[in-house]
Amino acid sequence: MSQAEIPKIFDPKAVEARIYEEWERSGAFEADPEPNKEPYCIVLPPPNVTGALHMGHALNGAIQDTLIRRARMKGYKALWLPGVDHASIALQNVVERKLLREEGKTRWDLGREEFVERCRVFAQEVRSRILGQLKRLGASVDWRRLRYTMDEEYVDSVLTAFIDLHELGLVYRGNRITNWCPRDRSAISDLEVNYEEVDGRLYGVRYPFADGRGPGPDGNPYAEVNTTRPETVLGDVALVVSPDDERYEELVGRKVTVPFVKREIEVLADSYVDPEFGTGVLKVTPAHDPNDFEIGKRRALPAVNVLNHDGTINQNGGPFTGMTREEARTALVARLDEEGLLGEVREYRHRVGHCDRCGAVIEPWLSEQWWVSMKELAEPAIEALRTGEVTVYPDSWQRETIRWLENLQDWNVSRQLWWGHRIPVWYGPGGEVVAAKESPGVEWEQEEDILDTWFSSGLWPFATLGWPEETEDLLYFYPTSLLSTAREIMYLWVARMIMMGLRFRGEVPFEKVNVHSIVLAENGTKMSKSKGNTIDPIDLFDEYGTDAVRFGLLYQSSTQDFSYSYERAALGRGFVTKLWNMARFVLSYPMEVTDGAAEASVSDRWILSSFNETAREYDRTLEECEFSEAMRLVYDFAWHELADWYVEICKVAPSKETPRILREVLDGTLRLLHPVMPFVTEEMNRIVGGEGMLVRSSFPQFDPALEDAEAARTLERTRLAVSAVRSFRAESRVEGELVGRAPKGVDLTVFSALAGVRPAEQLDGWFTATLPAGDAVVEVALSEELRRKEIERLRKEISRIEGELGRAEGKLSNEKFVERAPEAVVTAEREKLNRNAGLLETLRTRLEEYL
RNA sequence: GGGCGAUUAGCUCAGCGGGAGAGCGCUGCCUUCACACGGCAGAGGUCGCUGGUUCGAACCCAGCAUCGCCCACCA
């Protein structure tokens, strides 16, 4: 193909789909165990089958694809294992909302079987959309191994894990306070509760004395407490005061009556109470508050439950039975007021828990649930993080995760939902309880509850590889190499995978964890559907091209969260165009040059050396998950060294080796970039006639033989000299060829060609401009009329250099500096001083000559 | 209430002990045969504030301010 036939701008739409297909067809993504190769494995954090992929997925996908392609090119047997998650509560919520919206029905109208079927169908549709999006991203996953948490084999892994933990006694059933979502009618875990500040009220409630004795210490015939949830009064079983509270000494042991339900309860002393808060008297409602539950346990108090599972008041609620909790609150407060039992009511800002999935206010509620005790599981995980068996990037998250594991509460894993893995526990006719995959007999009934979705996710790195079977895949690819994830699921997911991996495989599930940035909206807030500020990555792919978006994302991805800016995609697109046109140039470049030197020129040696150095640093930064730094390195090399300088040098001062080296360096650059920008590099490789496909090529390795510090120094001096002349031309508006003298140590051919300066041995008798270039000076001959301008310019330069000289002198005359600073620093400062002194001398002499 | 992080050019962000950087935007020149999604040359910053450590601080320490995120059972 010739240059003229290739468009000036790469058209991603025209080739992306075709190239992806070619990759797939070639089997390049397929990875099977191969004993004489090192394994490298990443399991894709399975997207929820609830919606579409978002920017976070795009970023994480780009990160993982970059790492897996690099590993593949480096000769590892690299498996990126794809999958999707059934997302129990999230998906159930989506389907329930849809059901209500479209048919006006609830899940109970449909019944369990029918509802689960709806979920299954919905998940199927979403799943195919998500997988299509992964392909658009260019994800080089092994599609043959696609896993789904509801696959038969995966379900078996989940049941096996649960039964195993049950047998170990690490799973137990207990009646405890849980976070109850009355809308979902299910318990949820602590991590699924969002606490939000809301403006509420703090109500005073008066409990009349029931023992017939006189009024209390404050002269009132009642004891007053403060509560934000007055409806829970109905479930009160005691009042408590601080044992140190002198105001209430006499109160302890007396009886009061709970309004409306007329229960007589005792006033107790308990150190939990803070005498400073409110009236200093606390009501105890063990069924509806975790602290009260603890007090109740300590004092052997009964727990009176006043709520139904849908949040209405149950039969224990006296006159309020059947009302919703909101209605009950209003009605109860009104009745208290009527009966003179309402104390002070004031505005009160406090935190209220909301369901992470549906937003309903959470009720702490006493219920029978399945729990996993965490202490035993957490300990080895803490140890693995401490010893660095798992390394987390950035390392601040290593400590955070340890801290969290150290303070772990038991995990409520049962959910009163329908979409998910039903708990494999069977209740026998004689009250027997057995954990098993199959029903033990006809009379036995299976537990209605399902498992928390994160229980199955916790098994992801090994369940996807075939566990509990000792498959070849599992033995070869486990532990996986790296897990890349967003920080919001570090606890929900990552920490639990570590615990589960250690429990079931005796080894950590991954060696490295990369905690990536969160992609924020342009104004720095979180993207969310409700705010309407989300960006669809697919739209970006359409507009800028996938490679451009991927590059832009990685360029912004450091340890900080970042606001997404379209500029980054534009930056990536610009880079793609630049590379594309370099390839067009190379195509047009002759295969042979006739008039150059036979051996590689200093420029040739420089670009090889610089490429080599870039390859090394690029590889290192990717290894350390410093993506932003890696992108910067390769961008700067490709654009500001290869394109800006070497390509220009190739045009004007080639050697006979230049055609080969130009092609070699372009090829190497494409291979460096292929992991990040797979499509355009693959296409470029094709048009420049590279062998095979880049996806199967090798990653450039650092080669010490190519290092050439002298060539690098020469080019550095040459570039400075050229820039000095260009700068002078722009400022003084001088065009055309100049006659001049270059400083020592520059490549004269390159200098004269790029600066447009014809070299002269000596310029005596000419009027010249004296241009500082680094530590040297370029002189160019000028016409007489520029004399005044040159005098001005010289004065400016002189004062600039005087300033620098002064600074160096100041430092060196400071005895402490000379004494305490490292010798290299002092030496550098001396050299700087000498250099500037020489420069100044030259400039001053010139100035005097011209005055 | 605890913990973590951020504050650097108009904007988005790098740099994290030895003379302030990138991209975008801005200014001037260049439609030169790879690229105007371009080239060359520029302008633009007391590196949040106040102290401290150091020969030397954007960088380390302390405090403050502002913003953000996690964690926590105070009614």
Amino acid identity at A45: P
Q: Is pLDDT of A206 > 90?
A: yes
For A670-708, the pLDDT digits (tens) are: 999 999 999 999 999 999 888 899 999 999 999 999 999
Amino acid of residue A784: E
pLDDT averaged over chain A?
Answer: 92
Q: Which of residues 301-360 of A touch strand B (CB under 7 A)?
A: 350-351
Check residue A782 and give its pLDDT: 85
pLDDT at A1: 63
pLDDT tier at A615, thresholds 50, 70, 90 = very high
Residue A212, pLDDT above cutoff 80: no
Nucleotides of B under 7 A from a protein CB: 3-6, 11-15, 18-19, 22-24, 28-29, 33-42, 54-56, 67-75
pLDDT digits (tens, 9 = 90+) for A502-513: 999 999 999 999
The predicted-structure confidence for A308-323, as pLDDT tens digits, reads as follows 999 999 999 999 999 9
Phi/psi for A186 (5° steps) reads -150, 155
Reported ipTM: 0.95
Q: What is the pLDDT of residues A450-462, one digit of tens each?
A: 999 999 999 999 9
Q: Tokens 């389907």 appear where?
A: A95
The mean per-residue pLDDT over the stretch A812-827 comes to: 89
Cα A615 to Cα A619: distance, rounded to the nearest angstrom: 6
The residue ranges of DSSP E strands in A378-423, in sequence order, are 391-393, 411-412, 414-415
Residues 495-534 of chain A sitting with CB below 7 angstroms of strand B: 520, 524-526
Q: What is the reported pLDDT for A307?
A: 94
| A588: CB within 7 A of chain B nucleic strand | yes
Please give the span between the terminal C-alpha atoms of chain A, in angstroms, as a whole number: 61
> Using an 8 Å Cβ cutoff, are A304 and A235 in contact?
yes
Residues 652-711, chain A, CB closer than 7 Å to nucleic strand B: none
What own/partner pairs with CB < 8 Å and gap ≥ 24 does A528-536 have? A534/A54, A534/A55, A535/A55, A535/A564, A536/A52, A536/A54
Nearest nucleotide relative to A558: CA against C1': B14
Strand B atom within 7 Å of A802 CB = no
Check if residue A827 sits with its Cβ under 7 angstroms from strand B: no
pLDDT, tens only, A715-743: 999 999 999 999 999 988 888 889 999 99
Check if residue A392 sits with its Cβ under 7 angstroms from strand B: no
- Nucleic strand B within 7 A of Cβ A793: no
Q: Is residue A217 scored above 90 in pLDDT?
A: no
Strand B at less than 7 A from CB of A278 = yes
Beta bridge partners of A510: A480
Question: What average pLDDT does the segment A51-77 reach?
Answer: 94
- Residues 404-443 on chain A lying near strand B, CB distance under 7 A: 404, 407
Please give the pLDDT value at position A596: 79
Q: How far apart are CA A133 and CA A767, in angstroms?
A: 67
**Nucleotide at minimal C1' distance from the A626 CA:** B14
**Residue A562 contacts strand B, CB under 7 A:** yes
Which nucleotide across the nucleic acid strands is nearest to A191, CA versus C1'?
B71
Contact between A150 and A123 (Cβ < 8 Å): yes
DSSP character for A646? Answer: I
Residue lying closest to nucleotide B23, CA to C1':
A571
Rounded, the Å distance between the CA of A400 and C1' of B71 is: 10
* For the segment 53-82 of chain A, residues whose CB is within 7 A of strand B: none
pTM of model > 0.90: yes
Provide, rounded to the nearest whole percent, the portion of chain A with pLDDT above 70. Answer: 100
Lowest-confidence pick of A106-115, A494-503, A548-557, A784-793: A784-793
**Separation of CA A628 and C1' B22 in angstroms?**
11
